[in-house]
Structure 1
Amino acid sequence: MPTSKVRELLDNGSYEEAKEVAERALQDNPNNALLHYYAAWSCDGLSLETSAIPYYEKALELGLPDADLADAYIGLGSTYRAIGNYEKASETFNKARTAFPDNKAITVFASMALYNSQNYKEAMQLAIQIIGETSNDPDIIAYKKAILNYAHDLDAVWD
């Protein structure tokens, strides 16, 4: 099956070959969401960001299993961010955060896109929240409650 072959190539970092196999397989299976996603992934691995976008978009349109959907959102959002389309990156990450609210990686990528969009406060809030929620560092853990409290309103002052 072409999808398993392409996935194996991607997992081994053989992006050029993965791209070729995926594109050939898409000629016979143009509505295979997984092949579109794998083609996008291979393009990203080859630093062909603008070529990856239509593949990501088609994969999302056709529908991916949840196991691949979160990664496809991250890939598309990161690709938009990498080419400077911060608005589309933020839109993509917002959709992803709605679909996968517990996926911390999506939130971190969303914070980067917000930063690039000059939404510094919201970007910092998300990043600080993730640090507070996920850090295993003993010094962070000691201040976890305060960090999470401050993350909600970085501009607040107390008398």
Structure 2
Amino acid sequence: MRDDELARAVRLREEGSREEARELLLGLAERHPEDAEVAYQTAWVHDVLGLEKEAAPFYERALAGEGLKPEDRLGAFTGYGSTLRVLGRYDEALAAFRRGLAEFPEDPGLRTFMSMALYNAGRAREAVSTLLKVLAGTEAAGQYQRAVTYYADHLDETV
């Protein structure tokens, strides 16, 4: 029953019936308060509806629980940190991104979203450095990968 309802709610969210998915997920979350997967999906649907304040506690519950697949755990860290950033809770967002990066150290999405929180926290140099390191890890850096990597840590260096 739980699995069928959860699958239906995810399908509804994906198809654009987000309010209906939200109602179904809220019911599931009430009946399964310790279920990390239900909490994650409930957070996600609130997030896509622009209900970040409501999403945050569900992300917390999802990350505190057990049983999330690694890709969902990564998504929960990304969503939670991003949600906190949107709410103006920059230090908490950075802490969430750091926790996520402790588990997924090279994830470019987490690092990119963290750079936005760094910028919002008034740490522009660190934000740019973080983005340059993400860029250096992609094909887009091309023949300049070595230089981009170097300058990520030496932004103010001149001759």
What TM-score do the two structures reach when normalised by structure 2?
0.92
Structure 1 alignment gaps of length 5 or more: none
Q: 1:28 aligned to 2:31? A: yes
Question: Secondary structure at the residue paired with 1:31?
Answer: coil
Runs of 4+ aligned structure 1 residues displaced above 3 Å come to: none
CA displacement at 1:149 relative to structure 2? 0.9
Decide which of 52, 55, 60 is 1:57's aligned counterpart: 60
Query: Which residue identity lines up with residue 8 of structure 2 in the other structure?
Result: K
Pick aligned residue for 2:122 from 92, 95, 118: 118
- Number of residue pairs matched by the alignment: 155
TM-superposed CA distance for 1:13, in Å, is 2.7
Amino acid at match of 1:16: E
Looking at structure 1, the residues matched to 83 and 29 of structure 2 have their Cα atoms a distance apart, in angstroms, of 21
Q: 1:49-107 CA distances to partner (integer Å, 9 max, x unpaired)? A: 10111111011111222120000111110110001110111000011111101211000
- Name the SS of the counterpart of 1:90 in structure 2: helix
Q: Distance in 1 between matches of 2:139 and 2:83?
A: 27
**In structure 2, which of residues 4, 8, 26 is the aligned counterpart of residue 5 of structure 1?**
8
Taking the aligned partners of 2:123 and 2:144, their CA distance within structure 1 comes to 25
In 2, distance between residues paired with 1:145 and 1:100? 23
RMSD: 1.3
Counterpart selection for 2:85 from 62, 81, 100: 81
What is the match of residue 146 of structure 1? 147
The reply on whether 1:68 has 2:72 as its aligned counterpart is: yes
Unaligned runs of 5+ in 2: none
2:156 matches 1:155 = yes
Q: TM-score, normalised by structure 1?
A: 0.92
Residue 5 of structure 1 deviates from its aligned partner by 1.4
Mapped partners of 2:48, 2:69: distance in 1 = 21
